[in-house]
Amino acid sequence: MSTVDQLRAVPLFSELPREDLERLCVGTEEVTIAAGEVLFSEGDPGDRAYVVLDGQIDIVKATVGGEVLLAVQSEGVVGEMALLEDAPRNASVRGRSDAVLLAIPKARLDELLDSSPSASQAFFHVMLDRWRDTQSSLQQSERMAQLGTLTAGLAHELNNPAAAVNSSANRMAEAMVRYGNARAAVASNLDADGLAVIDDLLEGLHASRGSGNQMSTLDQADLEDEIESWLADHDVDRSWELAPGLADAGLGVDQLSIIADKVEPSKLPSIVDLISAAQEQLGLVHQIEEGTRRMSAIVKALKSYAYLDQAPVQNVEITAGLDDTLMLLEHKTKGIEVVREYSDGLPVIEALGGELNQVWTNLIDNAVYAIGESDREDGRIVVRATTTDSGVVVEIEDNGPGIPEEIQKRVFDSFFTTKPPGSGTGLGLDISRNIVIQHHGGNLTVDSEPGRTTFKVELPLRLPG
């Protein structure tokens, strides 16, 4: 079969005059690839389109959540979008089986489209269908990638307090035994008045647990040194081990001296040991309380973020959604200063709360990425919420490198991304803008200069319609 006949068998070219097909054949080349072999990779420059003559090929795209199979193709044209847009390849192609393709140089394709309206129209319909299919596949991938980001963050954020709770609980049994032994030793050495003094002291420790002594690290170290020296001077064993706990309890040399004045010197070590054991127990209880409080706060934020058990349309407090999102992304913002600038009296708005949280996630995640790309140590994200006569305005500002002016015009385009392959689908801002504009009747814009980028979301008080 001649090359002209091979092209005519392709629906895209079937209606073209023979002379157009003959021009298109000039410079074509038959290419053979093996199963698994890459024809071209995402990000490569586009210099040729390919017609599948035999076998099957996979069209795949790298995303944050992994590789997405966009299509399996056994006929038709592939790779033409990069040529028509004069842009890098937006997906990779490899052989699903051994395959034979016809390579068409960019120059021949450009000549055909310039001279044949029917060919231009056919290419337009093919590109539109492919764009719709690709967007549908990648929107799902983008949602799954965002879910993966939050899941990884939750696992990280929950693991730390859970590990602390587990560790404290394991140490609690040993601490209880130590306290019981110390209590028994003191009870056998003191009369009723002495026990009353000690009980009052222990009651004070219990009442103040978790409040801390509010000392600087340097002052804490100095206090521990003073206590250790005092204990050694009063023949209390393990002074180096007991001093930190006594300092945490807020007991200084003056308080210890008062206790020492009320008891016989031989009884002082058992009393100090009891105080230290009590403080150890209270410290472990405080760690367990803090760990469970943190886990509860994370679960509460997740439930609020996802609007679980609630209708899609809600009366939404914008700052609550922003705070929930920031909490769930804390694993990503570590090392970055996050500043909240919320105006007083922000109104509650009617909105799709879960969808707005998708927007906040995308914008904050992009800000974190931009700061990471700049390698600056003073990374800063400002989350700003203000009120207007018609609704609310939210701004996410970062001090990353900024977005070049020529790129700012394209940041909301489908599939456009400045991230390397596998780091983004190019749909996050497109989805966000669609949520804000189409679903909420608002607006999403960007303003950027070197060292600052601000995404601005304007939302009305009520949903349209």
Same domain, yes or no: 160 and 205: yes
Same domain, yes or no: 347 and 258: no
Same domain, yes or no: 10 and 41: yes
What is the pLDDT confidence band of residue 208, given thresholds at 50, 70 and 90?
A: low
What predicted TM-score, i.e. pTM, was given to this entire model? 0.49
- Number of domains composing the chain: 3
Cα 230 → chain centroid:
50
Same domain, yes or no: 349 and 280: no
Same domain, yes or no: 168 and 55: no
What is the pLDDT confidence band of residue 146, given thresholds at 50, 70 and 90?
A: low
Q: Which pLDDT does position 278 carry in this prediction?
A: 84
Question: What count of Cα atoms within 13 Å lies in the side-chain half-sphere of residue 265?
Answer: 6
Tell me if 300 sits within 8 A of 347, measured CB to CB.
Answer: no
Q: Which pLDDT does position 42 carry in this prediction?
A: 87
pLDDT at 142 over 70: no
Domain boundary among 115, 141, 176: 115
Q: pLDDT averaged over the chain?
A: 81
**Hey, what long-range contacts does 53-56 have (CB within 8 A, 24 or more apart)?**
53/6, 53/100, 53/101, 53/102, 54/99, 54/100, 55/95, 55/96, 55/97, 55/98, 55/99, 55/100, 56/95, 56/96, 56/97, 56/99
Domain that holds residue 188: 152-297
At 317-374, the pLDDT tens digits run 999 999 988 988 888 888 899 999 999 989 999 998 888 988 998 899 889 988 988 8
In a domain, 136, yes or no: no
At 157-174, the pLDDT tens digits run 677 778 778 888 888 888
* Rounded alpha-carbon distances, angstroms, from residue 409 to 45, 367, 368, 400, 461: 22, 18, 21, 18, 28
Q: Which pLDDT does position 27 carry in this prediction?
A: 83
Residues 6+ apart with CB under 8 A from 69: 58, 59, 60
Same domain, yes or no: 163 and 291: yes
What is the pLDDT confidence band of residue 422, given thresholds at 50, 70 and 90?
A: very low
Better-scored residue on pLDDT, 81 or 224: 224
- Looking at 324-379, which runs of residues are DSSP E strands? 337-342, 349-352
Structure tokens at 267: 């009884």
Domain boundary among 297, 330, 361: 297
pLDDT > 90 in the chain, percent: 22
Same domain, yes or no: 59 and 158: no
Same domain, yes or no: 316 and 426: yes
Domain boundary among 268, 297, 326: 297
What is the pLDDT confidence band of residue 442, given thresholds at 50, 70 and 90?
A: very high
Same domain, yes or no: 162 and 231: yes
